[in-house]
Amino acid sequence: MKIRNRYAPSPTGLQHIGGVRTALFNYLFAKSQGGTFVLRLEDTDRTRSDSAFVQDLFDTFQWLGFHWDEGPDVGGPYAPYIQSERAALYQKAAQELLDRDKAYYCFCSAERLENLRKERESARSSETGYDKLCRNIPKDAAASRVKAGEPHVIRLKIPLGQTTRFHDRLLGDIEWKNEDVNPDPVLLKSDGFPTYHLANVVDDHYMGITHVLRAQEWLPSTPLHTIIYESFDWEPPEFCHLPMVMGSDGKKLSKRHGATSVDEFRRQGYLPEALLNYTALLGASYEEGKDVYTLEEIVAAFDVDKLNKAPAVFDYKKLAWFNGLYIRAKSDKELAALALPYCEGLIKENSASFVGAMSLIKERISLLSEIPSKIAYLFEEPPLLEPSEFFPKKADLAKTVELLELGKKLIPAASRKSYEEAFFKEEAEKAAALAGVKIGDLMTPLRVAITGARVSPPLLGSLRLLGEEKSMARVEKSLSLLKAALCE
């Protein structure tokens, strides 16, 4: 049997990292088994579906770098892959269930259903869902009412007094009493559009889906889906309900934990390789002692039988660590190209200085969005800080002026690109010894004058990129500030 699985999102919001994990695991399973991965858009929620969310879906997976074999944008033998374009198929399927006496027409108005809900609420009744009022209307009478144009929906007949059983690849054999299944749910709405449950089952059947990998939050729907399959006498696919993705507090991952949509992660400066790599680890086991994988390596190592039953915890710090690894693996030129969109307003083009700045900050960042603040001093005059910000430990204003004068003498040679770090350190140590201080204390005033901060990227690299003229100008400006304070 050739494996066919699918990712079937509803285009009612931005792509969530949990949904992407589902899509990725389906892709990995299909590719690891030589199968086919399908995208299907379940857009039957006409009030919330939006073309902007469809575009976000396409953009997300193009950015992440993996794609489906069949889908709305690439076609395939089971097109169309958009549910709103398959309405006739669902209507035919609903009629088949009516003919099999597995479904029935329901004429209850929204007002009646709302009153029923309120009555139960007032009586503190444990009953939920539909009360089956129309279930036993004679077929001929129901057909006459439909023919007369009376508004109606089509409901599924849940078999009474039975237990529904199905097997889950991860969770094993599961039993569900039918009395605990949503009673006689709507299959076809009054506007002729299907509900999620009917469309999902019909499409999985007619698209030849053999395996359904989806989040465990859908587990309560599976008994209902199994009943629908049995009502048609169709063989259901193999189910595998994936572990949930939770926040650090043990609750379902949401915005209160941090970024959740791929668009947010992208804007914050995560790399697609890092996000993909980390997402693949959420609830899955691979090679012991190894964390970093290419997509091809993940495909080769993926085993659906090694998925974890327990929820996966989304660790933002671990993701940032992954991102830092991938950032440091980029060449300066590659990193500069990735960083350029984040530096709008700071630089206009990918200059040699901008590329050179990447080597100074690679080891100091986890996100692309951190780059502008780290390198701004190289392209804009940094703010002139208060005199006290220049002071090394245990140094006063007069000593700070002395140290900055000594530091200034290092600039001409240090500004040359051929000047090696060992020579710079040797000359700095000589100057520090002359002043009777540690090398770090000597560098503090010079660092503040050049970068506008007490903590900054490497000073030698900064002097090289700025050049002697700009570096000297910044030091002279700082010396003027300090000397003016000395005269007060």
Task: Flag the least confident range among 134-138, 251-255, 291-295.
Answer: 251-255
The CA radius of gyration of the chain, in Å to the nearest whole number, is 32
Which residue is catalytic, options 255, 290, 393, 417? 255
Please tell me the distance from the alpha carbon of residue 244 to that of residue 174, in angstroms, as a whole number.
18
- Residue found under tokens 């063989």: 235
| % of the chain beyond a pLDDT of 90 | 89
Give the model confidence (pLDDT) of 173-199 as tens digits. Answer: 999 999 999 999 999 999 999 999 999
Q: Where are the domains of the chain?
A: 332-378, 387-487
Inform me whether the pLDDT recorded for 488 exceeds 80: no
The yes-or-no answer on residue 102 being catalytic is no
pLDDT for the residue 228: 98
Please tell me the distance from the alpha carbon of residue 395 to that of residue 397, in angstroms, as a whole number.
7
For residue 237, cis peptide bond before it (omega within 30 degrees of 0): no
Work out the pLDDT band at 48, boundaries 50, 70, 90: confident
CB 418 within 8 A of CB 447: no
Please tell me the distance from the alpha carbon of residue 176 to that of residue 259, in angstroms, as a whole number.
36
Inform me whether the pLDDT recorded for 235 exceeds 90: yes
CB 239 within 8 A of CB 210: no
Architecture of domain 387-487: Orthogonal Bundle (1.10)
Please tell me the distance from the alpha carbon of residue 71 to that of residue 77, in angstroms, as a whole number.
10
Largest CA distance in the chain: 107
Work out the pLDDT band at 420, boundaries 50, 70, 90: confident
Q: Which two tokens stand for residue 405?
A: 């004068």
Give the model confidence (pLDDT) of 4-23 as tens digits. Answer: 999 999 999 999 999 999 99
Please tell me the distance from the alpha carbon of residue 481 to that of residue 398, in angstroms, as a whole number.
12
Q: What are 212's strand-pairing partners?
A: 239
Inform me whether the pLDDT recorded for 419 exceeds 80: no
Please tell me the distance from the alpha carbon of residue 152 to that of residue 154, in angstroms, as a whole number.
7
| % of the chain beyond a pLDDT of 70 | 100
| Degrees to nearest 5, angle at CA 454 with 451 and 457 | 55
Q: How many CB atoms lie within 10 A of CB 455?
A: 8
pLDDT for the residue 59: 97
Q: Which two tokens stand for residue 171?
A: 């969770």
- Residue found under tokens 């309120």: 118
pLDDT for the residue 476: 97
Q: Which two tokens stand for residue 13?
A: 């919001």
Inform me whether the pLDDT recorded for 255 exceeds 80: no
| Degrees to nearest 5, angle at CA 462 with 458 and 465 | 145
pLDDT for the residue 204: 98
CB 93 within 8 A of CB 202: yes
Inform me whether the pLDDT recorded for 156 exceeds 90: yes
Inform me whether the pLDDT recorded for 259 exceeds 80: no
Work out the pLDDT band at 83, boundaries 50, 70, 90: very high
CA dihedral over 206, 212, 217, 221, signed as positive or negative: positive
Q: Which two tokens stand for residue 194?
A: 């299907």
Amino acid at 210: T
CB 376 within 8 A of CB 346: yes
Inform me whether the pLDDT recorded for 467 exceeds 90: yes
Amino acid at 294: T
Q: What are 154's strand-pairing partners?
A: 105, 188
Q: How many CB atoms lie within 10 A of CB 247?
A: 18
Please tell me the distance from the alpha carbon of residue 157 to that of residue 153, in angstroms, as a whole number.
13
Give the model confidence (pLDDT) of 323-348 as tens digits. Answer: 999 999 999 999 999 999 999 989 88
Q: Which two tokens stand for residue 208?
A: 């030849």
Q: What is the 3-state secondary structure (H, E, C) of the chain?
A: CCCEEEECCCCCCCCEHHHHHHHHHHHHHHHHCCCEEEECECCCCCCCCCHHHHHHHHHHHHHHCCCCCEECCCECCCCCCEHHHCHHHHHHHHHHHHHCCCEEEECCCHHHHHHHHHHHHHCCCCCCCCCCCCCCCCHHHHHHHHHCCCCCEEEECCCCCCEEEEEECCCEEEEEEHHHCCCCCEEECCCCCECHHHHHHHHHHHCCCCEEEEEHHHHHHHHHHHHHHHHHCCCCCEEEEECCEECCCCCECCCCCCCCEHHHHHHHCCCHHHHHHHHHCCCECCCCCCCCCCHHHHHHHCCHHHECCCCEECCHHHHHHHHHHHHHCCCHHHHHHHHHHHHECCECCCCHHHHHHHHHHHHHCCCHHHHHHHHHHHHCCCCCCCHHHHCCCCCCHHHHHHHHHHHHCCHHHHCCCCCCHHHHHHHHHHHHHHHCCCHHHHHHHHHHHHHCCCCCCCHHHHHHHHHHHHHHHHHHHHHHHHHHHHHC
Between the alpha carbon of residue 68 and those of residues 8, 35, 307, the distances in Å are 11, 11, 22
Amino acid at 19: G
